């Protein structure tokens, strides 16, 4: 075991784009776990658009990361030292290890807890399709979207880690699924591999017009990861009693000024529709419902997912920035060297 | 019975403010009712912000009023000739008579139907507190807002025909109720007569700051009749799992350009909140639930309402315009001379 614990700490709150300038590299001692705690060596880190929000000093669903604090992130790692009867060295775990080599965690501590990986499951899966992004898709689509067979479901950020799973779940429920994504590669993957019924390339197509064309009976469920103009376009095409699942708004996360909302919220009134937000951490006690369902669909070949795995501790801040460039297809991860 | 049927027909679709220029005065013959129909003489007309939307040529929850067609409005009138077994001359009825002296209606026709007034009920009541505006408040607040005792309920357009009833219903359910209205008179009425717990005068106060001050535990239900900046301010103060009832958006109805929506829709995600629209015509089969409840509260002195009754057929178009000036306190009506 190394003596050094490499860390990236938050150095400067973001204004506009995030990147290296917001973080500072530090080296510390490897911590020692107290009673009932374990020491985990992080192997993979998860990157999520919502992490951008944690860097800001404003109230949200989790407290802001403090200046000088290790950047928060969920991780998969290996138990190195255990002072807890349920864990032994070598156990593979899912936790919120943050941007560092080693972390000390208690099984009940923090928003991410400490969960042993099911046997036989690939190491990265609990950070992607079985992790926060897959669970977000599962509960957001099923609990809030409530898709019924024959309905039309529209997904923005459809090639992303959450959107791609959300759309496929709707397809598995018998819906016609239309995805919005940026660029040919993503659109091709959505059509061919994820078997979306239709795809709109927002980089080259008129999104509003294409939604109208591809959803002639209107959109029953809109699962939104993007916000902004895309949300406005979708609201123009709501079916009666539509459900708009507000999952994220990546279009505004790096904005330096407030981005105006849709001008057409009154369409929610005209169509008697609902727009609802949620945070997956509220559903953690229902993971036992979602995980077997997702695993079942994956093993039956009904649900596909992609991971974009960057490598190297030094590339951690750039990998967060990468999320907002639209370059990643599927779940953004990083393997610690 | 007169021979002449005075009418105001839609002459020009609105751009910006509505007023006389959008309508044309005409005189026609008094129509004769066919089999199963009755002839009604209108006595009172209802004015509602939503009528502004009916004048526009775009899809909504009712078809647009056509150019040259009598302007649509609900009305209370008296049956003059009846070719239907359930009605006799002299019956007082609630219907959708429109801006004219006489109309022919079938008991099942049109979005407003033809309903006999309950005995002993004042003539204007079925257009105000027992009419579309009162029912909108009842179902919007109870079905969508679902206020629980001890919660904080915020109402915009609180001195209006719908807002004032919505707020009082929340008070009757044991909530702390805060209203937003424009001007001293309205605010005083809300505090003294309608017994709101607190009132914000948007004409003289910083709405966002005042909501924060008056709703220290956040807003559990926001019943919105206004939209725009007021909606944005309310979204800044949502409690967890708040319900935003989108009833109307009068701030934008006369706009000539699209009005940007709130910049802070992501607050719906952070607080796991819901924003939902509705149209009262969907609840017409549940009127039997609402009317006795409203009448019961009124006769117990628990629910007060105001009517602003203009007079004179020639003043009909100006009375619609008046709705958007904020001058009326309570339900805007007109008595036909």
DSSP conformation letters of B161-188: HHHHHHHHHHHHTT-EEEEEESSHHHHH
CA torsion, points B261, B266, B271, B274, in degrees to nearest 10?
50
CATH 3.40.640.10 holds for B4-128+306-335: no
For A268, the closest chain B residue by CA position comes to B277
Shortest distance, CA A86 to any CA of chain B (angstroms): 34
Tell me what percent of chain B is helix, strand and coil, each rounded to the nearest 5.
Answer: 30, 25, 45
B62 at interface of A, judged by CB pairs closer than 8 A: no
What is this structure's pTM? 0.90
A5 pLDDT higher than 80? yes
- The CA-to-CA distance between both ends of chain A, in Å, stands at 14
> What is the C-alpha to C-alpha distance for residues A212 and A232, in angstroms, rounded to an integer?
13
Give the pLDDT confidence score for residue B150 in this predicted structure.
Answer: 98
CA distance A88 to chain B (A): 36
Q: What residues in chain B have per-residue pLDDT under 70?
A: 1, 109-111
Strand B219-224 versus strand B152-156 pairing type:
parallel
Q: Is A302 on the interface with B (CB under 8 A)?
A: no
CB-based contact, A258 to chain B, within 8 Å: yes
CB contact under 8 A, B265 and A261: yes
Domain boundaries, chain B: 4-128+306-335, 132-280
Q: Indicate if B132-280 has the same CATH topology as B4-128+306-335.
A: no
Q: What are the backbone angles phi and psi of residue A55, rounded to the nearest 5°?
A: -80, -15
Taking CB atoms and an 8 Å cutoff, what residues of chain B touch A61? 270
pLDDT value of position A237: 98
Using a CB-CB cut-off of 8 Å, the residues of chain B touching A270 are 59-61, 277, 279
Comparing CB atoms, the residue among B259, B274, B282 nearest residue A272 is: B282
Contacts (Cβ under 8 Å, ≥6 apart) of A119: none
Give the DSSP letter string of B240-293: EEEEEEE---HHHHT-SSPPPB-TTTHHHHHTT-EEEE--GGGGGGGHHHHHHH
Q: Assign 3-class secondary structure to chain A.
A: CCCEEEEEEECCCCCCCCCHHHEEEEEEECCCCCCCCEEEEEEEEEECCHHHHHCCCCCCCCCCCCCCCECCCCEEEEEEEECCCCCCCCCEEEECCCCECEEEECCCCCCCCEEECCCCCCCCHHHCCCCHHHHHHHHHHHHHHCCCCCCEEEEECCCCHHHHHHHHHHHHCCCEEEEEECCHHHHHHHHHCCCCCEEEECCCCCHHHHHHHHCCCCEEEEEECCCHHHHHHHHCCEEEEEEEEECCCHHHHCCCCCCCECCCCHHHHHCCCEEEECCHHHHHHHHHHHHHHHHHHHHCCCCCCCEEEEECHHHHHHHHHHHCCCCCCCEEEEECC
pLDDT at A109: 63
B278 reaches A (C-beta below 8 A):
yes
Query: Which residues of chain A have a CB within 8 Å of the CB of B276?
Result: 268, 272-275
Hey, is the C-beta of B259 within 8 angstroms of any chain A C-beta? Answer: yes
- Number of helical (H) and strand (E) elements in chain B, helices listed first: 10, 15
Residue-level pLDDT at A132:
87
Partners of residue B258 in chain A, C-beta under 8 Å: 263-264
Candidates 3.30.750.24, 3.40.50.300, 3.90.180.10, 1.10.10.10; CATH matching A4-124+306-335:
3.90.180.10
CA distance A243 to chain B (A): 9
Per-residue pLDDT, A1: 63
Q: Are A334 and A309 in contact (CB under 8 A)?
A: yes
* Contact: A270, B61; criterion CB under 8 Å: yes
CB A226, CB A155: distance < 8 Å? no
pLDDT at site B326: 81
The Cα B76–Cα B125 span in angstroms is: 9
Given an 8 Å threshold on Cβ–Cβ distance, is B265 in contact with A275?
A: yes
What confidence score (pLDDT) does residue A276 get? 98
- The rounded mean pLDDT for chain A is 94
Residues in chain A, how many?
Answer: 337
The pLDDT tens digits for A199-244 are: 999 999 999 999 999 999 999 999 999 999 999 999 999 999 999 9
Contact A269 B279 (CB under 8 A): yes
Interface check for A218 against chain B (CB to CB < 8 A): the answer is no
Residue A212 forms contact with B (CB below 8 Å): no
Model confidence pLDDT, tens digit, residues A116-171 = 887 888 999 999 999 889 999 999 999 999 999 999 999 999 999 999 999 999 99
Shortest Cα–Cα distance, A98 to chain B (Å): 21
Instruction: Give the number of other CB atoms < 10 A from CB of residue B203.
Output: 13
The answer to whether B134 faces chain A, any CB pair under 8 Å, is no
CB-based contact, B248 to chain A, within 8 Å: yes
Nearest to B276 among A232, A260, A274 (CB): A274
Residue A59 pLDDT: 78
Which residue in chain A is spatially nearest to B253 when comparing CA positions?
A266
- Write the burial class of residue A60 (CB in 10 Å: 0-12 exposed, 13-18 middle, 19+ buried): middle
pLDDT in tens, A58-115: 878 889 999 999 999 999 999 999 999 999 999 999 999 999 999 999 987 666 788 8
Give the pLDDT score at B110: 65
> Which superfamily does B132-280 belong to?
NAD(P)-binding Rossmann-like Domain (3.40.50.720)
CB contact under 8 A, B273 and A273: no
């Amino acid at each position: 075991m190394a003596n050094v614990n490499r860390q990236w700490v938050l150095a400067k709150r973001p204004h506009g784009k995030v990147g290296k300038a917001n973080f500072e590299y530090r080296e510390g001692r490897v911590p020692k776990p107290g009673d009932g705690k374990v020491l985990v060596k992080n192997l993979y880190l998860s990157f999520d658009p919502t992490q951008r929000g944690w860097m800001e000093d404003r109230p949200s669903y989790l407290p802001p990361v403090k200046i000088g604090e290790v950047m928060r992130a969920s991780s998969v790692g290996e138990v190195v030292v255990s002072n807890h009867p349920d864990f032994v060295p070598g156990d593979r775990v899912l936790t919120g290890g943050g941007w560092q080599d080693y972390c000390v965690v208690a099984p009940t501590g923090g928003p991410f807890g400490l969960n042993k990986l099911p046997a036989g499951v690939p190491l990265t899966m609990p950070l992607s399709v079985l992790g926060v992004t897959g669970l977000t898709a599962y509960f957001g689509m099923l609990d809030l979207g409530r898709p019924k067979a024959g309905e039309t479901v529209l997904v923005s950020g459809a090639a992303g880690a959450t959107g791609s799973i959300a759309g496929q779940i709707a397809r598995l429920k018998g819906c016609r699924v239309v995805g919005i994504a940026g660029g040919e590669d993503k659109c091709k993957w959505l059509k061919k591999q994820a078997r979306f019924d239709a795809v709109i390339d927002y980089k080259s197509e008129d999104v509003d017009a294409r939604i109208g064309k591809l959803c002639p009976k209107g959109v029953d469920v809109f699962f939104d990861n993007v916000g902004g103009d895309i949300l406005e376009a979708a609201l123009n095409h709501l079916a009666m009693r539509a459900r708009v699942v507000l999952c994220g708004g990546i279009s505004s996360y790096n904005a330096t000024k407030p981005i105006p909302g849709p001008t057409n919220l009154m369409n929610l009134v005209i169509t008697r529709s609902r727009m609802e937000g949620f945070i997956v951490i509220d559903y953690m006690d229902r993971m036992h419902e979602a995980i077997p369902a997702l695993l079942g669909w994956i093993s039956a070949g009904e649900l596909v997912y992609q991971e974009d795995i960057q490598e190297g501790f030094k590339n951690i801040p750039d990998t967060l920035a990468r999320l907002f460039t639209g370059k990643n297809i599927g779940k953004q991860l990083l393997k610690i060297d």
